[in-house]
Amino acid sequence: MLPEVELAALADSIKAGGLRLPIVLAKDGSILDGRNRAEACRRAGVEPAMVTYDGDDFVGEVIRLNLQRRHLNTSQRAMIAARLATLGDGQRKDRVGSQICEPKTQAEAAALLSVSKRSVETARKAIETAPPEVIAAVDAGEVTITSAVAAAKAPDEKRAEVLGEQAKKKKKTDDADAGGGPPAHVAQATGENEWYTPPKILDAVRLAMGGIDLDPASCAKANETVRATRFYSIADDGLTQEWGGRVFLNPPYERGLIDRFIARVVDERRSNRSTAACVLVNNATESGWFQEMLWAGWSVCFIRGRVRFIDKGGAASGAPLQGQVLLYNGPDPQNFPHAVEALGPAYEASV
């Protein structure tokens, strides 16, 4: 469930504008997806819209919907996969008794959660050896599965100390993966966070994709220039909405949000729910989210000079503290370098 502050904000949003994304039920009437929305509707006094999932991949659908919207780290995904893996290597499915979902091997569960089989094995070891409070810390994203195994081996009186040290190391790594430094949309020391994409970049995006159907992290003012067919504002919470079509994303640069938006746009393209996507971000090549896009086969343009973002008054006064890149994934990667050549050197993905 969402933290209390976020749940209250969701309830306020639903009370003001209604529920935009229906709650998905299993055939027995239980909630398949949307527990937070159901609780927020209850608080807001709004009768929620509901649909029933009629497919046969119950667990796969749960995972797909949640991986779209939640940024789960590798350890958290590995723990889910370890719990899903109910078959030993080589064990035949037709010899396993009736279960709610089709039994899965560790390799199958690893593929479903986009982690390595070795990570699943480590997670299984953590589940089998670590005490409940340590497992809960991994599930919450506070420590890694490797740390959990190390803590399980430590004497009881040393366990808290081991976990504390591992949590500090993880936070330091997380901060580095988030790109470090101040957000790119903040111009030097202005403290202003509302900056809009310059028309020159948007012209290149339209050339690369043929148009923009959706901007999932925008506002009415920004869309005057983006001219997306649809956009989601902060009140809409784009991470909870349906995407699709040709997506332009200039994500919020706040740590914890940027990686969730990047994970979502990568998943949208990997599953072909979106037909194409362009993403404007920091050139934080050392970050986990940036490297995730490269490994997923995104072409990249290194924008020449510093991007002059547009302020609320329409002036190009927002000078970020580091360079920017434009990444593309879609059906015509060969066209991308030509479409963006006015911005800077571009390279077609080779993976």
At 265, list the tokens. Answer: 């746009």
- Enumerate residues 6+ apart whose C-beta is below 8 A from 280: 197, 201, 248, 249, 250, 307, 324, 325, 326
Q: For residue 337, with 0-12 CB atoms within 10 Å meaning exposed, 13-18 middle and 19 or more buried, which class applies?
A: middle
Q: Give the helix, strand, coil percentages of the chain, each rounded to 5.
A: 45, 15, 40
Query: CA–CA separation, 204 vs 337, rounded Å?
Result: 10
Architecture field, domain 199-347: 3-Layer(aba) Sandwich (3.40)
Which sign, positive or negative, has the C-alpha torsion 242, 234, 203, 347? negative
Q: Which pLDDT score is estimated for 296?
A: 86
Residue 324 and residue 280 in contact, taking contact as beta carbons nearer than 8 Å: yes
Per-residue buried b or exposed e for 42-62, using 16+ beta carbons within 10 Å of the residue's own CB: eebebebeeeebeeeeeeebb
* Ramachandran bin of 248, using left for φ above 0, alpha for ψ from -120 to 50, beta for the remaining angles: beta
Farthest CA pair distance, the chain: 68
Helix (H) or strand (E) holding 289: helix 288-295
pLDDT, position 3? 74
Question: Residue 122 half-sphere exposure, CB side, CA atoms within 13 Å?
Answer: 18
Domain boundaries, the chain: 56-175, 199-347
Residue 191, pLDDT score = 36
pLDDT, residue 67, reads 67
Q: Distances in Å between the alpha carbon of 318 and those of 60, 188, 208?
A: 43, 8, 25
Confidence (pLDDT) at 194: 58
pTM: 0.51
The top-level CATH class assigned to 56-175 is: mainly alpha
pLDDT of the chain, 351 residues: tens digit per residue? 777 877 887 888 788 878 877 898 988 888 988 898 999 999 999 999 999 988 877 777 777 777 655 667 788 889 999 998 875 544 444 444 434 456 788 888 888 887 888 889 999 999 999 999 889 889 888 888 988 888 888 887 676 776 676 666 655 555 444 444 333 333 333 334 456 889 999 999 999 999 999 999 988 888 999 999 999 988 888 988 999 999 999 988 776 678 889 989 988 998 899 999 999 998 888 887 888 888 888 999 999 988 887 766 666 655 566 789 999 999 999 999 999 999 999 999 865
- pLDDT for the residue numbered 165: 66
Please say whether the dihedral angle defined by the alpha carbons of residues 125, 129, 134 and 135, taken in this order, is positive or negative: positive
The token duo for 104 is 């899965």
Q: Can you tell me the distance from the alpha carbon of 134 to that of 27, in angstroms, rounded to the nearest whole number?
A: 35
Burial class, 350, CB count within 10 angstroms (exposed 0-12 / middle 13-18 / buried 19+): exposed
